[in-house]
Amino acid sequence: MAGFSARAASTLPIVPYADAGPLYGIVCPILISVSDAPGSYFFWASDGRDVAASTQAAIVEVLVKKSLTALQETGLQRIVVAGGVGANRQLREQLDAACAKRRVRVHYPELHLCTDNGAMIALAAAMRLQSGQQQANRDYAFDVKPRWPLNAIG
């Protein structure tokens, strides 16, 4: 990604909570720093690439730290990266390096299979609508767990 990643990174926190969402605490500081920038629209034209690079660097750092924490807490020696994030070159490089030091195996899908989960859900919904299903069936009902602690997965 073009842009200077260290320029805005100092304002982005790394949240230590193991069960917090992977990007918890990053989005607000970015929005605040961008909205406070002089001439906000012009900020994006001149410094937008720096903000994007800094944001990517911070997100990658959080994902790597949380992945390593999960491995340490579970004692597992393998990790699988799935979804659109699996296509991120910076994440792959840093996670590979961190896991190699710990002799942990990392598995990624092929790049053409790293798709956005939201797109898959939208496609599934569109297919349901095309088949005539307008309402969700009770067979598909389940409890939503937005913050599912790793130690609760058995």
Residue in 102, 103, 95, 27 with CA at minimum distance from that of residue 63? 95
Q: Where are the beta strands (DSSP E) in the chain?
A: 78-80, 105-107
Domain membership of residue 106 as a residue range: 9-135
- Number of domains composing the chain: 1
Question: Within a domain: residue 148?
Answer: no
Model pLDDT for residues 114-143, shown as the tens digit of each residue:
877 777 788 888 888 888 877 766 666 666
Main-chain dihedrals φ then ψ at residue 54, nearest 5 degrees: -65, -40
Looking at residue 108, its pLDDT comes to 94
Question: Within a domain: residue 129?
Answer: yes
Beta bridge partners of 106: 79
CATH number at residue 26: 3.30.420
**Is pTM beyond 0.75 here?**
no
Question: Within a domain: residue 74?
Answer: yes
Question: Within a domain: residue 77?
Answer: yes
More confident residue, 5 or 52: 52
Model pLDDT for residues 11-66, shown as the tens digit of each residue:
445 455 445 555 656 666 666 666 655 555 445 555 667 777 878 888 898 899 98
User: Residue 130 is which amino acid?
Assistant: Q
Question: Within a domain: residue 15?
Answer: yes
**What is the token pair recorded at 111?**
């790049």
